[in-house]
């Protein structure tokens, strides 16, 4: 079973794109859905592809400035296709919770937006796994 928290910490501590981390995140995603190999710590397009495949119906944003790279990821409970499923999975959503405000990463210094999004993705996956395990009584 994937330790998404460990992957998130590796993303947080990475100093730049990391091919070993790409492989480990790809393996973890493959456990959940069929997807192509991704250079997720290198490419914002590749990590976007993973989010859309593994977390359908989630909203995400990436941005950068001279100080930081920012990544945000959150279930879109208003999504016309996925909203009802997400509401069932995460609702009722408490205001201010991670399911309401999302996973917000501020990575300093700037220079690798994809890595910031990888960290947000892994933190979201860890929270989803914990929520699913709690619901199943594990």
pLDDT (0 to 100) of residue 36? 86
pLDDT (0 to 100) of residue 92? 84
Q: Does the pLDDT at position 136 exceed 70?
A: yes
Which residues, in sequence order, are bridge partners of residue 60? 73
Taking Cα atoms as reference points, which of 121, 87, 107, 102 lies closest to residue 16? 107
What mean pLDDT value characterizes the chain?
Answer: 94
Mean pLDDT of 55-67: 97
Give the C-alpha separation, 131 to 37, whole Å: 27
Mean pLDDT of 36-56: 95
Mean pLDDT of 26-49: 94
Residue 24's pLDDT band (cuts 50, 70, 90): very high
Give the C-alpha separation, 69 to 4, whole Å: 21
Number of domains in the chain: 1
Residue 138's pLDDT band (cuts 50, 70, 90): low
Which residues, in sequence order, are bridge partners of residue 58? 75
Give the C-alpha separation, 78 to 18, whole Å: 35
Mean pLDDT of 46-72: 97
- Expressed as residue numbers, the domain containing 114 is 4-135
Q: Does the pLDDT at position 1 exceed 80?
A: no
Determine the 3-state secondary structure of 60 from DSSP. Answer: strand
Give the C-alpha separation, 22 to 11, whole Å: 10
Helix boundaries (H) for the chain: 4-13, 19-30, 44-54, 83-90, 98-101, 113-135
pTM of this prediction?
A: 0.95
């Amino acid at each position: 079973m994937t330790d998404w928290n460990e992957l998130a910490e590796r993303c947080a501590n990475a100093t730049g794109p990391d091919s070993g981390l790409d492989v480990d995140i790809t393996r973890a995603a493959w456990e959940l859905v069929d997807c192509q190999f991704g250079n997720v710590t290198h490419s914002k397009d590749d990590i976007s592809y993973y989010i859309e495949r593994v977390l359908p119906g989630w909203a995400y944003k990436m941005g950068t400035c001279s100080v930081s790279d920012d990544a945000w990821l959150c279930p879109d409970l208003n999504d016309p296709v996925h909203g009802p499923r997400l509401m069932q999975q995460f609702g009722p959503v408490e205001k201010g919770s991670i399911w309401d405000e999302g996973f917000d990463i501020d990575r300093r210094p700037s220079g690798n937006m994809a890595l910031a999004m990888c960290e947000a993705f892994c933190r979201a996956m860890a929270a989803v796994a914990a929520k699913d395990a709690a619901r199943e009584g594990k």
